[in-house]
Amino acid sequence: MTSAGSVRSLVASARPRIRFSPERRLALLVAVSSLLWLLPGRAGAIAAGTALSLVALCTAIDVALLPPRRALTVTRELPETVGIGDAVEGTYTIESHWPRTLVVNLMDRLSPLVSGGAGATVATLDPFATRALPFRVTGETRGRAPLGPVGARVRTRLGLVGARFLFSADDSILVIPSLSGVRRFRMLAMQHRLATAGVRSLRRRGEGFAFANLREYAIGDDPRRIDWKATARRAQLITREYTIERSQTVITLIDAGRGMTQLAATRSRFEHALSSALILTDIAANAGDRVGALVFDDEIRAYVPARPGRGALQAIRDAFVPLQATSREPDYAGAFRYLAAHQRKRALIVFITDVIDPRASQALIAHVARSAARHLAVVVALRNDAIFAAALPRAAGGPGVLYESAAAEELILAREEALQRMRRAGVSVIDVSPQAMTASVINRYLEIKSRGAL
């Protein structure tokens, strides 16, 4: 007697060899043909038998018309990366080597790190034709997401029987911090429209090599700066102005401790911080600066030494992928000691953290003030918008709402006291909501760069 386990293994081993399966149309024809048995006398049996025989014949013909697996090719194309919350376009390409029209139903099961995919996409494929089916994938969680095999259910125009094929694929997509902001700010910079994102364009006049604007020629200007095309158009001497370009080092320091796990809209503060850090890295690298990053909680989680060029953005992005905010208390002392040991030259330190009360900020103030002798530090203090909303007075709600409002106001006052202590200690502070952080950070960076403060 065969055990239940042996039966299950036998069925499992036979399943790949069962290539055909009935379609809904076949079941409907069998059901309609069976109703003929209700006719009186032998006429019902003859009619039902004849109808079922015809259905069986059509089914056999349909099976013969179905293609073998080698007659169909399915490939998938996707970008190498997708940001959290960002969507990228992909393509399934179906290629037929069969001389008959086919109806293909594609199915996939993607990694939980992403959402979207083909779902259950149906496409009609002409003989020896190739068809591309677009789909979208959205990043959900950072990490390497294997995409897995692609299933295809194929039927002919008769649609009585379908063939099932599985196309193996070892491709994957890397889910990284959101890059939509990087692309948006890069495009706005190319179109000279950064102001639409809240970024102010600051320039210094000088003898640099980056073009700033045109103006009328004045006595004492270098004749080599005259723009002769603009002069011809305006019928007066026009000269070019250039900005002073100074290469500097920019290090993004990111707190991955307890306070950064809180949600800001649909994403944690930590995700907002990583995304803003990538945008700042991209803009600073394009400006010719050396860029690096350090992420920590109670230990150093990631460190990318400052380096120039486009490779810096990819190095920092790759370092960010496996990181998650934790419930640990951040070790400011350890982070600044590590930074002092590995970044000896003066740099702009953009420190993204959560400051909630004076006691928690004491260590931060002490170490930032101490590092000011070597570096220029900017502290980006992320607001908790929910606390600010709770502090607003509300007419209805009773004593519980009043108590909640009073407690929120007390937290806000304590936080403001901590920020004021930082400012009095000479620390540059950006007090901002996580959603509005990017433009504020870029503005401060451009301001520091234009003043040559570093």
Residue-wise burial string across 365-378, b where 16 or more C-beta atoms lie within 10 A, e elsewhere: bebbeebeeebbbb
Tokens coding 195: 């102001």
- Cα distances (Å, whole numbers) of residue 78 to 89, 136, 139, 172, 252: 7, 9, 13, 9, 30
The CATH code of the domain at 69-176 is 2.60.40.10
Per-residue pLDDT of the chain (454 residues; tens, 9 = 90+): 444 454 344 434 444 445 788 899 999 999 988 888 888 878 888 888 899 999 999 999 999 999 998 999 999 999 988 888 888 999 999 999 999 999 999 988 888 889 888 777 888 999 999 999 999 999 888 888 988 889 899 999 899 999 999 888 788 999 988 766 555 555 444 334 444 444 444 444 444 445 567 888 877 677 878 888 888 888 888 888 765 556 789 999 999 998 898 888 778 899 999 988 998 998 888 888 999 999 999 999 999 999 988 788 889 989 999 999 998 988 888 999 999 899 988 899 999 998 766 666 677 777 777 776 788 889 999 988 777 777 776 656 566 677 777 777 888 888 888 788 888 877 788 999 888 888 888 888 888 887 776 6
Q: In terms of C-beta density within 10 A (0-12 exposed, 13-18 middle, 19 or more buried), how is residue 44 classed? A: middle
For CA atoms 428, 331, 300, 439, the dihedral sign is negative
User: How far apart (Å, rounded) are the C-alpha atoms in residues 259 and 194?
Assistant: 31
pTM above 0.85, yes or no: no
Q: In terms of C-beta density within 10 A (0-12 exposed, 13-18 middle, 19 or more buried), how is residue 124 classed? A: exposed
Strands 87-96 and 72-77, sheet pairing: antiparallel
User: Can you name the residues that pair with 44 across neighbouring β-strands?
Assistant: none
User: How far apart (Å, rounded) are the C-alpha atoms in residues 380 and 267?
Assistant: 18
- Indicate the fold that domain 249-451 takes in CATH: Rossmann fold (3.40.50)
User: Can you name the residues that pair with 83 across neighbouring β-strands?
Assistant: 176
